[in-house]
Structure 1
Amino acid sequence: MTTKKGNFWALLPLIAFILIYFTSSIILNDFYAVSAIVVFMVSLIIAMIQFPKVSFNSKIEAFCKGAGEETIILMILIFLLAGAFGSLGSTTGAVTSTVNLFVSFLPPSFIVVGFFLIACFISISMGTSVGTIVTLAPIAVEMEKMLPGSMAMLLGAIVGGAMFGDNLSFISDTTIAATRTQEVDMKSKFKANFKIILPAAIISIILYYFLSQRFETANVNNNLLEYDLILLLPYLLVFGLAIGGINVIWSLIIGILSFVAIGIFYKSIPFLDLISSINSGFTGMFELSILCLIIGGVVGIIRFNGGLEFIIDKLTKNIKSKKQAELSIAGLVALADAALANNTIAILIVGRVAKEISNKHDLEPKRVASILDTVSCFVQGIIPYGAQILAAVAVTKIAQENTYMVSPVDVISNLYYPFLTGICILLFILFINNKQSKLI
């Protein structure tokens, strides 16, 4: 267990963020009325002036270490590359072509289900939920023209499918973190994990099918829709490389280069226009990237002052059974992810404590790894300030009016898969006994 003494007041910056951000958003019924970055800057100021006996330089160092966590920097890099990849898809016409191909062959009643399944496939292939969302969300926005009123449900289906893959992919950071901290191989964790989330996926498909029947297609002649299979090659290339085990960063870089090549040699798009498109993709991810840095830094100070240790102490001191041990691990990673808005870092922080609880109560490592990964993905998928929902909503921005076509609440109300996953993991812990389980 950790030797640092827990301190409740170290959590004050996080409490302040929750009170200011959520209260103002609920009162104004708009999660963008008050910028999350501004609120986290207030939290940072609170963290800096807390505990005056602690040197300011120590707090700055803790902030920099937290903001500079390897997973945060890696995530920002993926944000930027995914933004450029998605922007080039729009510039070259690949997004429109994909939509037209989709509509030409897929009956309207299966479009939402199709988006969910494709998001599942892409996220498993790429190992990144945000990359999946940034890739597919622009297509959902275009699809609104042909399936009016469907955008929020389509984005919900995409976010849900993205979290499905984030939870299962062999190259996902969450899978790597969960399996490494619990010292279990990925194959064992995958098998255990798949059994937990399969019912949630099946029920989600059924719900999306029946609930999407209310949408009426616009007056579009499918036979007149034009699409170009060559424009789809970068998408297929990225997915294929990811399936082949290529790192998602290299996959996205190769995808970007393939879009540039198609733009120049096939579509005759000026090179500077393509560079401008890449820059636009980067720019679209700047706010999200800065937010991740600030969150990581604030959490670094909270950790330095003993805030996370306080949470750990409270959740683990009264464990008496295997079921309670697993519930405590689930609760711990849920709170950590709600606080961090980053499921990978949440697993890394909680993983060591979870391993100690697992050893003490003789839990199966593959079960613990599955619980860590599934619960963190469940929470990450539903928090309105998480990167996944923010990325989904960001593509609906109307630049001229500085407004959004849908809100995080609209997307959350259509997130059937993540909520069903939360129910499934709870039922798994409560009713599917650990093979080694006995009360102690």
Structure 2
Amino acid sequence: MQRANKWALLPFVAFIVLFIGIGIISGDFTAMPLNVAVLIACMIAFLMNRQEKLATKVEIFTKGAGNSNVMLMVVIFVLAGAFSSVAKGMGAVDSTVNLGLDFVPPSLLLVGLFIIGCFISVSMGTSMGTVVALAPIGVGIAESTDIPMALAMATVVGGAMFGDNLSIISDTTIAAVRTQGTNMRDKFKVNFFIVLPAAILTCVILYWLTAGSSADAVEVAKYSFVEVLPYLIVLIVALAGLNVMLVLVIGIVLSGIIGFMNGSYTFLTFIKAVSDGVIGMEDIALIAILISGLVALIEHHGGLAYLLEVVSKRVKKKKGAELGIASLVSVVDIATVNNTIAILMAGPLAKTIADKYEVDPRKSASLLDIFASFWQGLLPYSPQLLAAASIAGISTVGMWQVYSIYPLLMGVMAIIAILMGYPALKNKKKTSHK
């Protein structure tokens, strides 16, 4: 790493200003495509340091973009997209929702909605997919009871963020694990112990808020337990330590077999579902490659050294380093409103800080994912809140001001975990990159 140079951060600053500026001017924070914003930032990075040959910059960029960690991340993104698409296409999402609703008593409708959201998001690995699947159910519950619509929608978002943060096929988990040099299973365990109290407290609060609510019967559609099996098996074998790529292949094949059995798929429609899932991940895969190349250039020009110098002035111990990592990813997520992008951008510096102050990579990966998800479930202009509010026909502000229970508790528990040094982690001689 070269000597500290604050001007090397200009491409990153331009990316943030461009994204926020167009969002403010247009009133739509999705108006500026992230891939275009990253491309512009890359161009600015190439134009800097004119004394250096363009060929040298290209070599640095391509080495950063194409390193083994990034390529493995891309492959996992693609397989995760294929599994999610194939499982959804054969009815796994609908069966999971209806199976959960069938076992939820009327007095626990909102608690059940949150738990179902947690399971679906852990299974699917996508908060947006969970919101889209569950928001109509939440609307139905609110309309058939005296539960506020904003509370029902915030509950859907909370359940969605639980799995987005934890799922082994979530793009945020993949990014956090790869940038910190740990594995899925170990990160899941550390992360789970931090957020579990938040999930339990959320259930208690939701029950307390809705205990006296009058409820009509919520109609439950047909479901098949067999269609839920791919989610369960993928989760079990992943936690058992099987290589994540093999886990996802098993999920794709099993979902396909069930789809053939229940008539959801022919060979051609199965192939189409796999293709749709791969295509759905192409954008985030390309952005991951571009950001990795961009970070390599910024690091070469001294930008990461400058950030590390600034952070180091305020950090003296491990707890300070962990708070620094949390703050770093928080700032990026508030600016980009995309937790995966925030982790990809903050990850390399977080790794440097973690190594310098001996923060366990399992903990640094968990903190990156938790704080990115915390803000993603809280910001009134995040895609998750906007999607839920749009389906329900309400404003995101009502959800944000009063009812964002789980995201808030998740952030609080993560801060407590930092201050208390929880969970206590034993040193590992060698970390497996699965």
TM value normalised by structure 1: 0.73
Is 2:2–2:302's contact at 8 Å kept on the other side of the alignment?
yes
- Match among 257, 278, 281 for residue 261 of structure 1: 257
Q: 1:227 aligns with which of 223, 226, 245?
A: 223
- Report percent identity of matched pairs: 29
* TM alignment of 1:297-336, pairs within 5 A: 297-317=293-313, 319=315, 322=317, 325-332=318-325, 334-335=327-328
Map of 2:77 onto structure 1: 79
The reply to whether residue 424 of structure 1 matches residue 413 of structure 2 is yes
Code of the aligned partner of 1:424? M
Say if 1:114 and 1:369 are closer, same or farther in 2 by CA, change over 3 A. farther
2:101 corresponding residue in structure 1? 103
Residue segments in structure 2 that go unaligned for 5+ positions in a row: 143-148, 333-339, 425-434
* Residue equivalent to 1:438: none
For the 8 Å contact 1:175–1:186, the answer to whether it is kept is no
C-alpha distance in structure 1 between counterparts of 2:214 and 2:55, whole Å: 60
2:93 & 2:419 partners in 1: Cα distance?
44
Distance (Å, rounded) in 2 between the aligned partners of 1:64 and 1:220: 54
Distance 1:63 1:228 in 2: 49
The aligned counterpart of 1:375 is 367
Change (3 A) 1:379 1:411: farther
Contact 1:260/1:274, CA 8 A, preserved across alignment? yes
Q: Does 1:92 align with 2:90?
A: yes
Q: CA deviation at 1:308?
A: 0.8
**Deviation, structure 1 residue 13:** 0.7
Q: C-alpha displacement at 1:272, in angstroms?
A: 0.7
Q: How far, CA to CA, are the matches of 2:45 and 2:57 in structure 1?
A: 8
Contact map agreement 1:4 1:309 (CA 8 A) in 2: yes
Secondary structure class of the residue paired with 2:99: helix
The change in CA–CA distance for 1:206 and 1:433 in structure 2 (over 3 A counts) is: closer
Deviation at 1:392, TM superposition (A): 5.9
2:357 counterpart SS class: helix
Shift of 1:317: 3.5
Cα distance change of structure 1 residues 308 and 258 upon mapping to structure 2, 3 Å threshold? same
Q: 1:155 aligns with which of 154, 157, 170?
A: 157
What amino acid maps onto 2:356 in structure 1?
A: E
Q: Does 1:272 align with 2:298?
A: no
Tell me the secondary structure at the aligned position of residue 341 of structure 1.
Answer: helix
Query: What is the SS of the residue equivalent to 1:313?
Result: helix
Q: Are positions 1:66 and 2:53 aligned together? A: no
> Is this contact kept in 2: 1:382–1:412, CA < 8 A?
no
TM-superposed CA distance for 1:271, in Å, is 1.2
* CA–CA distance in structure 1, aligned partners of residues 280 and 395 of structure 2: 17
- Post-superposition Cα deviations, 1:20-70, rounded to whole Å, max 9, x if no partner, equal 111222343322112111111111111111111122122222222232243
Gaps in structure 1 of 5+ consecutive residues: 359-364, 436-440
Q: 1:268 to 1:197 in 2, by over 3 A?
A: closer
1:213-260 per-residue CA deviation (whole Å, 9 max, x = no partner) reads 8999887533xx211222222222212222322122212211111121
CA contact (8 A) 1:120 1:164 kept: no
Provide the C-alpha distance between the structure 1 equivalents of 2:386 and 2:88, rounded to a whole number of angstroms: 15
Q: In 2, Cα distance between the equivalents of 1:190 and 1:427?
A: 17
Aligned to 1:14: 12
**How many angstroms apart in 2 are the aligned matches of 1:73 and 1:199?**
35
Supply the distance in 2 between the matched residues of 1:404 and 1:347 (Cα, whole angstroms).
Answer: 35
What's the Cα RMSD here?
Answer: 4.4
Distance 1:70 1:205 in 2: 41
The separation in 1 between residues aligned to 2:3 and 2:99, in whole angstroms, is 58
Give the counterpart letter for 2:370 in structure 1.
F
Q: Which residue of 2 aligns with 1:200?
A: 198
Amino acid of the structure 2 residue aligned with 1:200? A
Counterpart of 2:354? 354
Residue 240 (1) aligns with residue 236 (2): yes
The alignment of Structure 1 onto Structure 2 pairs a total of residues equal to 400
The more displaced of 71-80 and 43-52 is 71-80
Which of 280, 284, 289 matches 2:285? 289
Residues 100-142 of structure 1 show CA distances to partners (whole Å, capped at 9, x for unaligned) of: 2122212356455446546666888x8xxx8354774553256
Map of 2:38 onto structure 1:
40
Change (3 A) 1:316 1:434: farther
Normalising by structure 2, we get a TM-score of 0.74
Contact 1:113 1:209 in 2 (8 A): yes
Bigger mean CA deviation after superposition, 407-416 or 98-107: 407-416
SS at match of 2:278: helix
2: distance between equivalents of 1:271 and 1:395? Answer: 33
In the TM superposition, residue 312 of structure 1 has moved relative to its aligned partner by 0.3
Q: Which of residues 124, 133, 143 is equivalent to 2:137?
A: 143
Partner SS for 2:28: coil
Q: Distance in 1 between the 2:261 and 2:109 partners?
A: 32
Report the CA distance between 1:357 and its aligned residue. 3.2
Shift, 1:332, TM fit: 4.3
Q: Separation in 2 of the partners of 1:253 and 1:186?
A: 21
